[in-house]
A and B are shown apart, each in its own frame.
Chain A
Amino acid sequence: MAPALAWLAALMVVPCALVLALAFFRRGIYGGIEYTFTLENFGLVFDPLYAGIFLNSARIAGTATLIAVVIGYAAAYAISAAPRRWQPVFLFFAVLPFWSNYLIRTYAWIVLLNREGLITQLLRWFGYTGEPPSMLYTEGAVIAGLVYNYLPFVILACYAPLSRLNPELAEASRDLGASAATTFRRVVLPLTVPGIAAGAVFVFVLSIGNFVTPALLGGGRFQMIGNLVYDQFLTANDWPFGAALAMALIAIMLLVLTAQALAANRASGHVTQAGGNTDG
């Protein structure tokens, strides 16, 4: 037990504490670190230029999350409605792509979206003769890549509560005269919020700190927080500012996780209500 904990302490806790400390120092003139205390790195995070990148990242990550949750929930719902013995098979194949290399899954989209890629070929085949559409290196490509990469997790997260759902609850709701839509909105959806929240948090957190997908599918045109951190450490050589950005990333992550915990709590409140309340 001790060696493992020592390993984690030495190679995770200490380095992370170091980054936190680094964020309070000044950048040296030649790119090194000057050991004088300052808060200006955190001030710089809120500079309009960088705050803009934060908002932009949040928007891209938010859009990807929304799309992934809608598709993932629909898929999970369809799987949970399939015959029992087929469900594990469907689930297995829904998650399988998730186990292949992230870079390769992203690269697959370059192959699809580039000017001479499959989509252009398909358009030509349907008789399209104009200029090939530029799909790669757009914000849409970045979002598609993020949705594609993280969708399997959303399916998995949403399937768990959907498969545990007691079908009698929905039946009771229908018997009491609620329409299919109302039953879904008032019974099924509230009971599966924890799954949606877990899936959404996963996609959002991994998307907002991502630097591979924006670099490859956005062609470097769409800076996200991850790219910014990358630049500060590997090109601009402003480690203290990069450290402050990384801490901001952690802060966003903790914020989102707290929101998820709250959503899960509220949802479990709903469950007791649904179980104990007969006149609602």
Chain B
Amino acid sequence: MAERSPGTRRTLWFVLSLVFAFLYIPIAVLVALSFNEGGLPTAWSGFSLKWYASLAGNSAILSAALNTLIVALVSTAIATLLGTLLAIGIEMRRQYGKALEALIFAPMIIPDIVLAIALLSFFSMLNLTMGLHTIILAHVVFNLAFVCSVVRARLKSFDWSIVEASADLGASALTTFRRVTLPVIAPAVIAGALLAFTLSVDEFIIAFFTAGAGRASTTLPMQIYAMIRFGITPEINALATIVMAVSITALTLSQRLNRGIIGQ
């Protein structure tokens, strides 16, 4: 691109800086305010961690965080297991219909609100008491699809003859899976699990509709939504900063593992 004129190059750099300013200033302001002693956007009154400390004493937030952790861990565990098996099943056969493909893609493209009301109608028709368990059931639906697609991408370049070789050498199906298939796909499985975990931690709409009445099963995003509707408080800024840090770390990690896969 060396032949571009200096004027064009300057314009391109200018566009890039503007876009990055647009993307990062809102987040940067939020993070900065979370460390502001006074807690108000009107003036900077000194660096302080007191809003983080006050989060630690907020029992509603702590119980919501615990709920989120339970939902995310359980739904990730189930989705990782089922999604990985599904990916192996599909890729091993290599012959699958359009219907199966659509079934696996659907959870990723159906608008959240539609899946949310569908599950609400379904659970209430079954007269199921809703709570954390129904959120978990719901989160597995989309998490499963995401894990499956990450693992399938890895399996596309998998040499199935090594599985045959292992079987020929007398290994049982389980041993072959544990000693041959799993080590090869492990980075993708972990990447998929990390992705599922973050999606679940951040998911609001479906959780909101399938949590049922009462505060007992409020998740962190539901708590954040309630707080935001109430107004701006320095505590939300601190909480938002922590939540952002957690999801960005988990996804960067997931991306790295995936990058490793592409690089191989």
Contact = CB atoms under 8 A, between A and B. Distances in A.
A182 to B, nearest CB: 16
A11 B141 contact: yes
A57 to B, nearest CB: 12
B16 to A, nearest CB: 5
A108 B19 contact: no
A104 B240 contact: yes
Interface size range of chain A in the complex = 35 or more
B117 A103 contact: no
Query: Which of A77, A104, A152, A249 counts the most B-chain CB atoms under 10 A from its CB?
Result: A104
Interface stretch (A37-45, A109-117, A266-274): A109-117
A109 B240 CA distance: 13
Interface string B1-36: 100100001001101100110111111011001000
Contacts of B228: 103, 106-107, 110, 216
Contact of A8 (B30, B104, B221): B104
A152 B106 CA distance: 22
B12 A233 contact: no
Contact of B122 (A14, A112, A246): A14
Given A81-B1, A101-B202, A102-B202, A5 B23 contact: no
Contact of B248 (A77, A96, A102): A96
28 contacts: A1-B85, A1-B88, A4-B86, A4-B144, A5-B86, A12-B115, A15-B115, A15-B122, A18-B121, A19-B118, A71-B19, A75-B15, A75-B16, A92-B255, A94-B23, A107-B30, A107-B228, A114-B41, A148-B22, A148-B23, A209-B111, A209-B112, A212-B204, A212-B225, A215-B229, A226-B113, A229-B114, A250-B111
Contacts of B138: 11
Contact of A4 (B12, B29, B148, B251): B148
Contacts of B141: 7-8, 11-12
B64 to A, nearest CB: 13
Contact of A94 (B19, B144, B202, B205): B19
Interface in A86-127: 90, 92-94, 96-97, 99-112, 114, 116-118, 121
A243 interface: yes
Interface string B138-161: 101100110010000000000000
A143 interface: no
B83 interface: yes
Contacts of B224: 101, 103-104, 107
A99 B232 contact: no
A189 interface: no
Given A4-B144, A107-B228, A12 B107 contact: yes
A216 B204 CA distance: 14
Given A12-B141, A110-B232, A167-B1, 19 more contacts: A5-B100, A11-B122, A12-B103, A12-B115, A19-B114, A75-B15, A94-B19, A94-B20, A99-B248, A100-B248, A107-B228, A111-B29, A118-B41, A148-B22, A216-B228, A233-B209, A234-B209, A243-B121, A253-B109
Contact of A99 (B88, B103, B125, B247): B247
Contacts of A5: 86, 100, 103
Given A4-B83, A7-B82, A7-B140, A78 B24 contact: no
Contacts of B86: 1, 4-5
Nearest to B255: A92
A137 interface: no
B225 A253 contact: no
A203 interface: no
A250 B140 CA distance: 22
A108 B26 contact: yes
Contact of B137 (A11, A19, A253): A11
Contacts of B118: 12, 15-16, 18-19, 246
A142 interface: no
Interface in A130-176: 148, 151-152, 155, 167
B148 A112 contact: no
Interface in A235-268: 239, 242-243, 246, 249-250, 253
A81 B4 contact: yes
A205 interface: yes
B243 interface: yes
Q: Which 8 A-B pairs have the closest CB atoms?
A: A1-B89, A15-B118, A108-B26, A15-B122, A4-B86, A209-B111, A4-B82, A75-B19
